[in-house]
Amino acid sequence: MNDDTSLRRSRSLDGEWLFEVDPDGIGMTEGWQTELAMWLTEANPVDVPHIWQEDDGLRGYTGTAWYNRTFQIETADLESERVFVEFGAADYWTTVWVNGERVGENRGGYLPFEFEITEAITAGENTLTVAVHDPGDLSEIPHGKQGEPWFTRVSGIWQSVTLSFRPATHISGANVTPDLETDTAAVSLDVDVGDTDRSVVDAVIRASRDGEVEAIAVHPIDEDDEAVLEFDDPAYWSPESPALYDLEITLEANGEVLDRYEDYFGLRTIERDDDGFRLNGEPIRLRGVLDQGYFPTTLYRPPDGDFFERELERVSELGFNLVRKHLKPAHPDFLEAADRKGILVWEEPANPAQYTDRSKEEVKTELRRLIERDYNRPSVVIWSLYHEEWGIGHNEAEETLWTDEAKQTYLASLVETVREWDPTRLVCDNSGWAHVETDLNDYHWYCISPDRATEWVENLEHTLHHRRDNYATQRWSDDGEPVVISEFGAFSFPSVDTLIDHYGREPAWFSHEFLTDPVKRPSGVQDRFAETGLDDVFDNLEDLAESWQHRASVSLEHILGEFRTREEIAGYVLTQLYDTEWEVTGLLDYCRNEKAVYDDVAALNADVTIVPTVDSHVSWAGEEFELEIALVNDTDDRVVEDLEWEFDGRTETRRLTAPPHSVVESEPVRITAPQVETVRTVDVTVRGRSETELTRTEPIVVVPSPPREPPEALVFAEGTLASRLVSVGFDVTHRLTPDVDVAFVTETTADVVEFVSNGGTAVHVPDRQGEMRGTEFFEFRSLPRTDSWNNTASFFYQDSPLVEEFCSNRHLGWEFEDAYPYDIVADVAPEEDTVHVGFVRGWLADLGSPLLERSVDDGRVVACTFRVQTTAGSHPVVTGLLCRLVDYLTDRD
């Protein structure tokens, strides 16, 4: 809108209002909406936009709250004008009075609404009263991740309030639909003519760039068809060149200008085909990051006017070209910043929790209003309708979308409706889970490396060849829906000191009552740091955070490399740009400080990048391993790159040529690990010498062969493990007698219990499937064997002479590739047990161990849950660990 005082004017009503909660719901009956209401004498001043949960005393308040302010109307304002009060957003049920007269109500928490107040105002002072009701039960209401079990609730008038003066005949809205094949743009108008005869009104539509009019159309508003703007040499909107056109529409009748309306738009198309996505007809791979739109102290409200521009600078710096705005409509200021910066946006409504007639209608209404608001925003390229079946089958009391044909029919119908409302964008029916009718086949893939590297890569290969498995309906046909990994990430513990410094205390969200899962509950984290024995391994929580973030970086490097080298993956969205309260999977912390993962992700996310891959990160001295190098080119140009690799003094250069939008791989290189006397970690380093200045490394843990002379000890073992230990050089017996020095057992039989009770030493190891059997000495907890969010939140650490020579860091890494445990000890007693390798999850919960020593009666037992049954003798680190373990257990000194 413009500030032409002869046609349209606006006045901000932001600033100081009076505010009072109404926990007993008496405001309406006691007449709080009237000008002389008594509550005003006791109300507190607040600044609107306002979220009442920003006040610690109202953090858990649900119900009704009242707002009130006055504003002046001049007599001239009332001449030939209509007056509206506009709300950017208020959550949830908003009722508005002017001078005690009810002017309207709105349900919804995220999108704009307005009421005409022309007949309610008078010259002089006027009173605006607003009641906002946000109920405790959100199950049928689109609410996203507000409240249980996620984040802080958001209630109140949280976006701007504006007084708008318009002509009696005015434009209410205009949608611009580009057609790049003809270089035209169709403009549809919504005109409120008032008392004017429609037949005499023309709309004059102008599209300008840099002050120069580039297209103009004159259109009688009583015609049903759309106006068409024709461009001679148009500039298309794209991430590389985010060209925008200023839109000006005037309503004219009999030589008089009745109204002037302003907006902006971009000429842009988004399509999908068998090869992926096309922006303006050109291929594009979506490299996205998830953004939940929360801020540490202001929740949904950006802390200042330039914040979104700075945030999108980070997005661009990290190499992303898309932001997925998660589970709530984007703030309009964010979209304008994205339009001007050239960042693509994937938008989705907030979700309800239950599938009911009301919740379906609320979702549909929210989608309709979201599309109306953002139709002209060129950055928005994808609409999601639902997320992980939340509100359409995820509730444990409901049948899932996978099997419920009624839900499938409803969702397919909603997709078609959204396509009718907006044919210019792609539609995702149910992000991440069961699909029915969709333009992209997306997955939420929470995998972790190196812990489950082999498992999740194999699963990924299977998934890419069995895309039908992601569809809930039998009507699925291969229409070439592009594959997108729309969520993945790694938990990376933040700086607790930074959070406390920012808030001046422990954040209130540390101790939300609904955070009953200890993995997700930050409160008490300092105590758990000491209680778990982590304080014996790390200097403090900051030291732990640094190690954990480095571990997350290793995981994300591998995952991104796997995604980028597979051309059948048309896009991905990393979770997430910044931590959101307890969910600390961000590249930035909640206060927007960089984490250790930041630079590594930026390098891997570049338009052109290199990805080295080795067939094993663990090698015997003198053994060969294989190196492949991929050159990834997401640009429109051919890239020629001289790639130099170096390992232990040996250097070679390979030239790779990558056509536009392609991945090319070098021929495999066989490299021999050096001879070493002690364990060494030697990096394979790959450098770009032409187009890129990237340097990538892959660690190779080189172990002497044999790792050490096996100790002179009699070892009990059975089955294939016995054979593997013999191959290493152990003296193995199949009889469990008192003269056995160390017994390797997969079950804690009565004989084993007696052996230990009488002073023997046993090592309890998993069976060939990696399962720990028997609970006489330990209680065990199983870990997910493939992709799982719980795995991404896990952290293995060590501070033990048994493993320190194999590990470059205090967190475990690639040295245990293909040997990470499927089970861990669950009943760890840090003050009594010797924890050689520890395990925690999330906010230092679920303490466990894959390598733990415990005294039992006169003997001792070691739980070694690493997968030794299938790796002993062949895996250099596992073999070396077993030798060191037996040496340690038989040390007579």
DSSP letters along 288-355, please? EEEE---BTTTBTS-SSTTHHHHHHHHHHHTT--EEEE-SSPPPHHHHHHHHHHT-EEEE-----SS-
pLDDT in tens, 471-511: 987 665 666 799 999 999 999 999 999 999 999 999 999 99
DSSP E strands in 775-872: the ranges are 780-782, 794-798, 823-825, 834-841, 845-856, 859-864
Share of the chain above pLDDT 70, in %: 98
Mean pLDDT of 633-644: 94
Query: Higher-confidence residue: 710 or 664?
Result: 664
pLDDT in tens, 564-590: 999 999 999 999 999 999 999 999 999
DSSP E strands in 806-844: the ranges are 823-825, 834-841
The 201-209 sheet, strands edge to edge:
212-220, 201-209, 245-253, 256-265
- CATH number at 158 reads 2.60.120.260
Give the pLDDT band (50/70/90) at residue 37: confident
Mean pLDDT of 270-279: 94
- Answer whether the bond into residue 49 is a cis peptide, omega within 30°: yes
* pLDDT given for residue 775 in this prediction: 86
Residue 17 lies in a domain: yes
Distance CA 219, CA 14 (A): 37
Q: What is the mean pLDDT of the chain?
A: 94
> Are 162 and 174 within one domain?
no
Written as one string, the DSSP assignment of 532-576 is: TTGGGTSSSHHHHHHHHHHHHHHHHHHHHHHHHT-TTEEEEEES-
pLDDT of 526 > 60? The answer is yes
How many domains does the structure of the chain reveal?
5
- CATH number at 547 reads 3.20.20.80
pLDDT of 619 > 50? The answer is yes
Residue 528 lies in a domain: yes
> Are 275 and 260 within one domain?
no
Give the contacts of 337 (CB within 8 A, at least 6 positions apart): 308, 309, 311, 312
Give the pLDDT band (50/70/90) at residue 3: very low
- CATH number at 202 reads 2.60.40.10
Name the DSSP letter for residue 528.
Answer: H
* pLDDT given for residue 476 in this prediction: 57
Residue 2 lies in a domain: no
Residue where one domain finishes, among candidates 125, 149, 166: 166
* pLDDT given for residue 648 in this prediction: 94
pLDDT of 40 > 90? The answer is no
> Are 747 and 685 within one domain?
no
> Are 729 and 766 within one domain?
yes
Residue where one domain finishes, among candidates 649, 678, 703: 703
Residue 1 lies in a domain: no
> Are 114 and 25 within one domain?
yes
* pLDDT given for residue 1 in this prediction: 36
Residue 708 lies in a domain: no
Distance CA 447, CA 850 (A): 20
Mean pLDDT of 785-804: 93
Question: What is the residue range of 109's domain?
Answer: 9-166
Mean pLDDT of 117-133: 96
pLDDT of 891 > 90? The answer is no
Distance CA 767, CA 720 (A): 10
Give the pLDDT band (50/70/90) at residue 122: very high
> Are 161 and 222 within one domain?
no
Place of tokens 């090592």: 763
> Are 846 and 792 within one domain?
yes
Residue where one domain finishes, among candidates 117, 138, 166: 166
Residue 336 lies in a domain: yes
Distance CA 668, CA 657 (A): 16
Name the DSSP letter for residue 57.
Answer: G
Mean pLDDT of 155-179: 97
Through-space distance between the first and last CA atoms of the chain, rounded to whole angstroms:
85
What is the longest distance spanned by two Cα atoms in the chain? 112
> Are 182 and 283 within one domain?
no
> Are 653 and 790 within one domain?
no
Query: Higher-confidence residue: 600 or 361?
Result: 361
Residue 709 lies in a domain: no
* pLDDT given for residue 774 in this prediction: 87
Mean pLDDT of 165-191: 96
Residue 471 lies in a domain: yes
> Are 620 and 590 within one domain?
no
> Are 694 and 575 within one domain?
no
Give the torsion sign (CA, 521, 526, 532, 536).
Answer: positive
Is residue 322 within 8 A of residue 288, CB to CB? The reply is yes
pLDDT in tens, 142-156: 999 999 999 999 999
pLDDT of 892 > 60? The answer is no
> Are 251 and 314 within one domain?
no
pLDDT in tens, 57-98: 999 999 999 999 999 999 888 876 899 999 999 999 999 999
